[in-house]
Structure 1
Amino acid sequence: MLSTADISTLLQFKFKDQGLYALSTIVLGWLIYGAGLVFYRLYLHPLSKIPGPKLAAATYWYEFYQDVILDGNYIKEYPKLHAKYGPVVRAAPNRVHVSEPEFYDEIYNRKTAYLKDPNFALAGGISESLPMLIDPEIHRKRRKLVNPMFSPKYLDMVAPLALQVVKNALAKAVESNHAGKPLHIQRLYTGITVDIIMQICFDKQLHLIDSTEEEPPFLRTLRTFSEGFFLTKHFPILTTIAANLPNSLANTVVPGYAQFRRQCAAWIEDVKQRHSNGVFCAEDGRKTLFDLLLRPSDAEDPSDLPPLTPEILVDEAYAFCFAGTHTTSISLSLGTYYLMRDPARLRKLRDELKDVPKNADGLMEYRDLLSLPYLTACIKETLRLSSPVPGILPREVPAQGADCCGHYLAPGTIVSMSVRMVHDNAVVFPEPDKFIPERWLGPHAKDADKWLVVFSKGPRACIGMNLAWMELYLTLANFFSRLDMSLWKTDEYTTQWKDNGNVMLREYVKVMVDGLR
């Protein structure tokens, strides 16, 4: 007869066996499911005939490895894959990447039926912002609401403010000359773009130009968030978790994200407070972006918009601050680098600038620069070579499917192209790795213009492109007409780039200000 102890021992073994059995069953089930999924993706999936790495077709972990482990490397891997497999490559289980420039107009045109990839729209944790909206009707109405804030008419109002910011930056550059110290010009350019976008959004200045900090909190937050962009692309839930944690914990999940959201909310609250005091515009009488977003009924053409919740407003603030700073400052920095290592073309630019009228401060104004062909060509070539947002803009193939370079793409397939590959195409741009402003002049200029896609095209093109152009015109023209500079510890090695959602350089661009002109 079994004792109580014996029965207890048998039950323990039984329950232990049952637990192991359940665990092994779960593991076996997942293994069978995984094997079946891989088999389906490789041999039965609608994209199974598209050439590409088998590992990329089998699992999303290949893309994760390229994006996260190799730190934004996939954009540099695409040219190698296309050289091996052709113009259409299966880059992920349900995504193809296309290198043929002509297909760009198929995807990114004004009447496109290709919608933004729903999964990519979650990347970065700002899915309710204008750039990430999926629904084309909501996007159309939101864009229509804010379009006036980036129109030529509005930028004419902002141009004097922008020129004052450039003047402040020039004064800082002169200080470095007097001190005989190298100038962190990329940091200075970022101060310009930050102060301008903050005035457009909130009628604020952060005075980063005057800051003595190497990397003020605002810039550190944007940098760390950018460095984690691909992690949030693959695991978007991380931003949701981070947003609901204290800053000390949130920074271990997605560095900078939650802290900057709270800062954006505070800036929006300042505008609300101004409204509560009966003031609905900036000190100079113009409306700011958030004057309009908080009171859409004041728009020139009020649209039937869904309510803009506090979360949507913070998403918009985050997106405009992020997109309106680093991208243009990178182009300014690399444009400076390209011109300073090409003395002949720099002389040609300065010769053109000599005859431009100057204001009382000795500066050239925005409208007087727009008609300068060589300056414009230098800016276009800078935008092409710098491609500050170099990566993919994935879209979903519409219900009718698509034919692409001899391959059929089924509805629901994600198709992507990259700005970098269009700009580096040797057929479209001969000697694509060289800085040749002249390609934008003469009989072939119109053909070149067609393929300058740095701001994308169609209804989802960058809403801030006019602002970026204004900043490039004012800054490059006035810096090169006023200052003699030489590169300092900046060369082909230090300007190597990587993709973190936008371009990040190996090291910052720095110069010595050798004298005043």
Structure 2
Amino acid sequence: MGSFLGFVYRQLTFKPKPIPAHVNLQGKTALVTGASGGLGLEASAELAAHGLSRIILAVRDPSKCESIKSTISSKNPDIDVQIWELEQESLPSIKTFTDRAAGLDRLDIVILNAGVKGIEYAEAKGGHELNVQINHIGTALLSLLLLGPLQKTAQGTNAPARLTIVSSENHFWVNLKDIEGPDTLASMDVKDNFGKGMDRYSLTKLLNVLWMRELNSRATGNVVINAVNPGFCRSKLHRYHSGGASFANMIGWTAAQGGHCLTDAATSHPNDKGAYISEQVVKSPSPFVLSKEGQNAQLRIWNETVDLLKQELPSTDLLSNVPRYPGSKLAAISTSSWEFYWNYYHNGRMLFEIERLHKIYGPVIRIGVNDLHVSDPEVYQDLTRTNSGFTKDAGFYLTISLPGTSIGETDPEKHRVRRKVLSPALSGTRVQELAPAVLQKTKELLSRFENASGASSSICVTSAAKAFTMDIISKIVLGQELGCVADPAFRNELTKHLDAVFRMGWAPTAFPRLSWLALQVMSMTAVLPFPVPLASLKRSCLSITKKYLDIFSPNHVTKGTATRIEACNTNNHSRSAVIDVLMDPTSAVTHTVPSLDELNDEILMLLIAGSDTTSNAVIFAIYQIATHSIVRQRLIDELKGALPSLGEEDWITYDQAKKLTYLA
């Protein structure tokens, strides 16, 4: 493909065929943009004839399309034909349109067909060059915001949804200098850079292919995303190009034949995600698209487009439906397998592979099932900031089966609300209030160490550190300690089951998509090495929760809440524990008091997080200080330098600790 003679030959010898009669779209909903005439209308009519329950025609002026609705309905009396307004020159109009689409009960097929071929510079309503606005920016925004409804439908129906972007063979015929610069989209808004004839149109069709490929590489769920070349057809696309219209009359296909290409791409090729389809078969896109330069341009165009959309629609969550980051396909299946492959079969060259992937895909790449590698500190800060729109991978939280909790919540908005509710219980002020308890617990732990040393016995530092942090975290979460440090084995019923869950955790960590099945089997099968660990863990925590709340039925949470709050008020007790703020319906406007099971999951998640993360830092610190005299002496010297008035027997207060540079 790509030569002019080859293009003419295919136009004269190939004739697109309708989709086969056996294609059954019964019960499905399709949406087609640019559907007031030409290829979009022909594709809509063809899809409707195959049993669709609903067809949505996206047009600029619905008032002019009532006759179209009547025509389609008369031929297909059982179909619901809807005409929706869509002005692709306006990003707010697109946002309104996609918000409406998000309310559909299902959306199975989307064909993004709307486009323009302007051969003279013109400015769209939003200020961008018209070809770029309609063909690329508007199409990109539609694809991002319609992906969610498509993913939801695919999951609910257990069948692939379809997203087809209409491109063109013109993407082969681009002046590559127009896409080489660092600010391609900005430069395309400059009138002097417009070029001649169909240069700009062809460039936007290249952007369609690059965008489709990058979107496909990032999108999750069972959505088949592709780009289609509909061929050179006789349609209103050439209304601004008299030469093109005349040539189309000579060798062009009919609008119906072009529509066949669109419907073929949207209903056939179910296993060809990310494909470029031309003459109703999967073909290779232009050599530039497949080159290293093309791959770099693909990522750059993605980043430029997303940045532009974020600037113009700052309150819109653009990327919630494309959380998957590019990287190794093997790493997306199993972290350990990918590491083993590079370290064993390629002589430890995993770091070199990571560097190579960054050069291709940019600052964020996937190196494991739930692991990202970030090469740019600013990007890392953006991902981890409090108001980040980054959506967590729900699959990871299945490993402990506690989704929906403050740490396990994958939806950014729900996480923000829960964070606001818990903020008082996890604030710096609350930590300062716990300083005496931390000091007392530290003294208890050191006393255990001294007694063991005097008796020439050993202590498991890991168990001791976990017991220490579990007692402190339980004080924050429950308002009372679990007494782990005082236990001879540094354990209680909860931590015993917690250890079992972590021991079995290698499988769901390596293969989190299988975690639910693995956990269910392990919880029900007594012959496995770690029988019922998760179920026992949750039951153990539930007994603690019930004891604390004095609740004996999941239906009594409201009563227990009132009793607890009343008791706290009577005793002049500050309701500052996590469990208290969660039970308080006044803690935030949008907060709903959780059920007993939800409350138990929240408590369990926070206890797990505390015992597994904070304790690791404590374990590492104790080990290094105890086994390396140089580390111990350096710590002493730094403390004396920072706190010269500190005596040998003095304890560091919370306020003093905050002044230490490396702890601030």
> What TM-score, normalized by structure 2, do the two folds share?
0.42
Question: Bigger shift: 175-184 or 59-68?
Answer: 59-68
Q: Which ranges in structure 1 are unaligned for 5 or more consecutive residues?
A: 1-32, 71-75, 381-517
Taking structure 1 as reference, are residues 340 and 64 closer, same or farther at Cα in structure 2, changes over 3 Å only? closer
Please state if 1:189 is matched with 2:468: no
* Residues 420-474 of structure 1: per-residue CA shift (max 9 Å, x gap): xxxxxxxxxxxxxxxxxxxxxxxxxxxxxxxxxxxxxxxxxxxxxxxxxxxxxxx
1:272 match: 549
Q: How does 1:454-493 map to 2 (within 5 A)?
A: none
Question: Bigger shift: 273-282 or 261-270?
Answer: 273-282
* Residues 165-189 of structure 1: per-residue CA shift (max 9 Å, x gap): 1111111111012112333233222
2: CA distance, partners of 1:68 / 1:262: 37
Report the CA distance between 1:137 and its aligned residue.
2.3
Q: How does 1:393-472 map to 2 (within 5 A)?
A: none
* Residues 140-182 of structure 1: per-residue CA shift (max 9 Å, x gap): 1111111111112112221111211111111111101211233
Aligned residue for 2:484, secondary structure, equals: coil
Taking structure 1 as reference, are residues 318 and 93 closer, same or farther at Cα in structure 2, changes over 3 Å only? closer
Please state if 1:173 is matched with 2:449: yes
Taking structure 1 as reference, are residues 237 and 62 closer, same or farther at Cα in structure 2, changes over 3 Å only? closer
Residue identity matched to 1:171: S
* Residues 303-329 of structure 1: per-residue CA shift (max 9 Å, x gap): 212442233212211210100112112
1:364 match: 652
Q: How does 1:45-444 map to 2 (within 5 A)?
A: 56-57=328-329, 61-63=333-335, 65=337, 79-87=351-359, 88=361, 89=365, 91=367, 97-213=373-489, 217-229=493-505, 231-232=507-508, 233-238=512-517, 241=520, 249=526, 256-273=533-550, 275=560, 276=563, 278-280=566-568, 285-287=573-575, 288-297=577-586, 299=587, 302-340=588-626, 342-353=628-639, 362-373=650-661, 377=662
* Residues 42-88 of structure 1: per-residue CA shift (max 9 Å, x gap): 9999999599xx99537954447459999xxxxx9863531454454
Higher relative contact order, chain-length normalized (CA < 8 Å, sep 6+): 1
Question: Bigger shift: 119-128 or 154-163?
Answer: 119-128
1: CA distance, partners of 2:578 / 2:391: 26
1:24 match: none
Are 1:271 and 1:290, in contact at CA under 8 Å, matched by a contact in 2? no
Residue identity matched to 1:143: R
Taking structure 1 as reference, are residues 199 and 359 closer, same or farther at Cα in structure 2, changes over 3 Å only? farther
Residue identity matched to 1:234: R
Report the CA distance between 1:138 and its aligned residue.
1.8
1: CA distance, partners of 2:416 / 2:440: 34
Taking structure 1 as reference, are residues 351 and 285 closer, same or farther at Cα in structure 2, changes over 3 Å only? farther
Are 1:126 and 1:315, in contact at CA under 8 Å, matched by a contact in 2? yes
Residue identity matched to 1:241: Q
Report the CA distance between 1:108 and its aligned residue.
2.8
* Residues 334-354 of structure 1: per-residue CA shift (max 9 Å, x gap): 123334555345324224545
Report the CA distance between 1:193 and its aligned residue.
0.5
Aligned residue for 1:317, secondary structure, equals: helix
* Residues 175-220 of structure 1: per-residue CA shift (max 9 Å, x gap): 0121123332332222210111112222333322232237655334
Are 1:203 and 1:282, in contact at CA under 8 Å, matched by a contact in 2? no
Aligned residue for 2:394, secondary structure, equals: coil
Q: How many corresponding residue pairs? A: 330
1: CA distance, partners of 2:633 / 2:528: 47
2: CA distance, partners of 1:68 / 1:222: 28
Aligned residue for 1:296, secondary structure, equals: coil
Are 1:194 and 1:325, in contact at CA under 8 Å, matched by a contact in 2? yes
Report the CA distance between 1:332 and its aligned residue.
1.5
Question: Rg larger in 1 or in 2?
Answer: 2
> What TM-score, normalized by structure 1, do the two folds share?
0.53
Aligned residue for 1:181, secondary structure, equals: coil
Aligned residue for 2:459, secondary structure, equals: coil
Are 2:397 and 2:408, in contact at CA under 8 Å, matched by a contact in 1? yes
